[in-house]
Amino acid sequence: MKIKSRHHLKGSDARKVIASIEPFLEDPSSLRKASLEMAVSDEGVDLIFVDGQPLMMVVEGEPFFTVLGAIELTPIKRLVVVDAGAVRFVVNGADIMKPGIVSADPEIAVGDLVVIVEERHKKPLAIGRALVTGLEMKGEGKAVKSLHHVGDLIWKGLEG
């Protein structure tokens, strides 16, 4: 992943980003003191660096966590928990199927960005877009469209 340009966000823009992420965090205070930079990539995914760490991405104009951001910031809302059997599929970029889901935040609406975590340690594995509500994430069929996962271009771009 190539970064085309990178610049510090103005105070008002940084506050908007933080305000959109705050509702998902238990303690957003560290975010309020952070320096935010926007990085425009050639992949069509813009990243937001928080104190030099790529903790957020912009998906269709909406700031949300990267997998690294979910690991660092530990969101408490919009979580979809998958069982151990689903983990290998999720980390390879598969969409999240209902049979692999153990639980989901009941407040999730169709179209919401969500964090996919594994059951035992609640470790974030992927970021996706909900195809059904949190209450409908049991049964048969697809529940979440995967957008970013451990090991993908965004993740690899974050490593190097």
- pLDDT tens for 57-74 read 999 899 999 999 999 999
- The CA distances from residue 41 to 44, 58, 130, in Å, are 6, 11, 25
Report the C-alpha gap between 122 and 58 in whole angstroms: 23
Q: Do domains 3-73 and 79-156 have the same CATH topology?
A: no
Of 9-13, 37-41, 80-84, where does the model show the most confidence? 80-84
pTM of structure: 0.94
* Superfamily holding 79-156: PUA domain (2.30.130.10)
Domain boundaries, the chain: 3-73, 79-156
Which CATH architecture is the domain 3-73 placed in? Roll (3.10)
